[in-house]
A and B are shown apart, each in its own frame.
Chain A
Amino acid sequence: MATLELSGIRKSFGATKVLHGIDLTVPDGEMIVIVGASGCGKSTLLRIVAGLEAPTEGTVRIGGREVTALEPADRDIAMVFQNYALYPHMTVAQNMAYGLKIRGLPKAEIARRVGETAELLGISALLDRRPRQLSGGQRQRVAMGRAIVREPKLFLFDEPLSNLDAKLRVQMRAEIRRLQRRLGVTSLFVTHDQTEAMTLGDRLVVMHAGHAVQVATPMEVWARPADTYVAGFIGSPAMNFLEGTLTEGGRAVALRAGPVLHFTDGPRPGPEGRRLTIGIRPEHLVRDAETGLELSLDLVEPLGSETVLHGRLPGGEPLTAKLSGAVPAAGGSLRVAIPPAELHVFDAESGRRLDGLA
């Protein structure tokens, strides 16, 4: 059980800067999910914590102990790899025991730990098999088992679910969450899948181009995204962005598409005419036959309980809505309104969130 502190982590490969100073404090037992598109530096960050990569600058502390200069084996961590990296020539039991054997634990102790962990993961019947004789889900469990059996201070997960099929992924996701809660081990989980991030994490670190753009709980990230990148990345279908300008002394926004919307959570700072980006989630749009904006549909995706509608506003701006109930077919049109209470206001230049002053 331990805390993890990262301070000022920078990393460059030659002239390419991959991480631009990451600070993060993870309290004991918390599950942090690092999420971002590929190439944002999330895996590099994880590898730096693991000790597989050395940071160019900055320090890593696990349980208060500075480990920046230590070998992975001396950091008391365990890692689950994307392709599991189970040694193909060893049985499941040998795979799980290998790290313990190297540490020189007595045989009886190793056998006890492997047995208990296998029991916990429901893989006791597989202990004598080779990895190639296992299904994807079983391999995943063994990889988890190899991590758990070491009783580490910190779990590191490097996109461990991305090789599984959709159904199994959902199942393993829940299982990882339960296990992590039960064992109470501080964990770092890297993924590019926002659903995985939302469901697994106590807190999310949303990364973009080597910066940790937002560190907050999943709901906070969803409800109050720090900038347009986070707003567009978290949530499916992605948030709509509309252009607008500040008006009425900061109390409203005039959308390019026409309507003037009054902020319900206080005025925004800035001069009249300040350029804004207005975000609205597709699921927050409502039908409004009288005053709504005309949306001409070019793609309709039924999801069963709801339907995702892709269309354009009269000015040509794309807009996606998620509505329930009967909808017109593609090629048709309908009127949707933007409830002012659900607006996200961002500065058009910096993309940063602008909160109400009230």
Chain B
Amino acid sequence: MSAALEGATPAARLQDDARLAAASRRRQRREKWLTHLWLLLGVLVFAFPIWITLVGSTHDTATIGRGDVPLLPGSHGLENYTAAIETGGSGRYRSSPAALMLWNSALMAMCIAVGKIAISLLSAYAVVFFSFPGRMLAFWTIFITLMLPVEVRIIPTYQVIVALDLFNSMAGLTIPLIASATATLLFRQFFLTVPDEYVEAAKIDGAGPLRFFRDILLPLSVTNIAALFVILFIYGWNQYLWPLLIVNDRSLETIVVGLAKMIGSGDTQNEWNVIMATAVLALLPPVLVVLAMQRWFVKGLTETEK
């Protein structure tokens, strides 16, 4: 304790404290403004292209064709969206109606997400809770496929699917994308954190392996499953290369592929307004899925049900 402080009168010290408190209030306010400024900048950077798309989808072909980039919504929204949903536009690069492509995409994304989760839950269950010869070999075999992305093994996969006569079918579209090491790995990591006592308590309660899986392990994994579902749905929804290769039947076309096909190359006039309307439509389902699963999604990423 310094002599100066001890010598000061209580009133003087009080004043001092008031000044310190005011300073810390000012600092807190300044920090709040700074963080908000950065956040606003971030929002702007991420949201601006989407805003442009939204606005573009409400103007007529001519406005956008002139090369203007309008920043305020126009009045042709309804007709653009109707055209996109019902016919897929009228231009030379007319694609399938968005309604059909949305349905195809939704079905494909759903099959991929559900299939991946089902397969990886079961394989992770086998790898973690059972000991059998070759268990680690099985795990590593699954694991190393992580190092081979779809693009790398696309030719052999194509060959296999064609040989299986699954070309131009929903099965051919989804099955190769269902086999997944990522989800297996995630579930394995989660299962490893499940205390052994649950397994033992269940054994004493008389629950067999499948019963334990259904009654104990699945309910414990719900948040993880939800989080993974969101991620996998979007992964499936955004697939481009594989659907492009394996499907040339227009009735099976997915929205991401269709959207790309709508944009012609060369000197043709693109119907940008309809393209942007389709893009907005393509954006909606993943957004809806995220919104619907948001609560679970965040929970699954941050905590485990314990």
Contact = CB atoms under 8 A, between A and B. Distances in A.
A222 interface: no
A98 B197 contact: no
26 contacts: A51-B203, A72-B206, A73-B205, A77-B204, A79-B200, A79-B204, A81-B200, A82-B197, A83-B197, A84-B197, A85-B197, A85-B198, A85-B201, A87-B201, A87-B215, A87-B216, A88-B220, A89-B216, A89-B219, A89-B222, A98-B207, A99-B204, A102-B205, A102-B206, A102-B211, A132-B306
B156 interface: no
Contacts of A103: 206
A60 B200 CA distance: 19
Interface string A21-55: 00000000000000000000000000000111000
B interface: dominant SS: helix
Interface string B292-306: 000000000000011
A interface: dominant SS: loop
Given A88-B306, A89-B219, A83 B206 contact: no
A99 B198 contact: no
Contacts of B200: 50, 52, 72, 79, 81, 85
A191 B203 CA distance: 22
Contacts of A132: 306
B128 to A, nearest CB: 17
Interface in B152-182: none
Contact of A89 (B203, B206, B220): B220
B203 A72 contact: yes
B67 interface: no
A332 B51 CA distance: 85
Given A73-B206, A99-B206, A102-B211, A79 B219 contact: no
Nearest to B219: A89
A148 to B, nearest CB: 13
B305 A98 contact: no
B195 interface: yes
A74 B200 CA distance: 14
Interface in B254-291: none
Interface of A: 50-52, 71-74, 77-79, 81-85, 87-90, 98-99, 102-103, 132
A100 to B, nearest CB: 9
A78 B206 contact: no
Nearest to B197: A85
Interface in B206-228: 206-207, 211, 215-216, 219-220, 222
A89 B305 contact: yes
Nearest to B306: A88
Given A88-B305, A89-B220, A98 B204 contact: no
B195 A79 contact: no
Given A83-B197, A85-B197, A89-B220, A99 B205 contact: yes
Interface centre among B205, B216, B306 (most CB of A within 10 A): B205
The 9 A-B pairs of least Cβ separation, nearest first, read A73-B206, A85-B197, A99-B205, A89-B219, A85-B201, A102-B206, A72-B204, A72-B203, A81-B197
A168 B188 CA distance: 37
B100 to A, nearest CB: 41
Contacts of B306: 88, 132
Given A72-B204, A77-B204, A79-B204, A98 B215 contact: yes
Interface string B180-203: 000000000000000101101101
Contacts of A102: 205-207, 211
Contacts of B220: 88-89
A77 B205 CA distance: 9
Contacts of A83: 195, 197
Contacts of A71: 203, 206
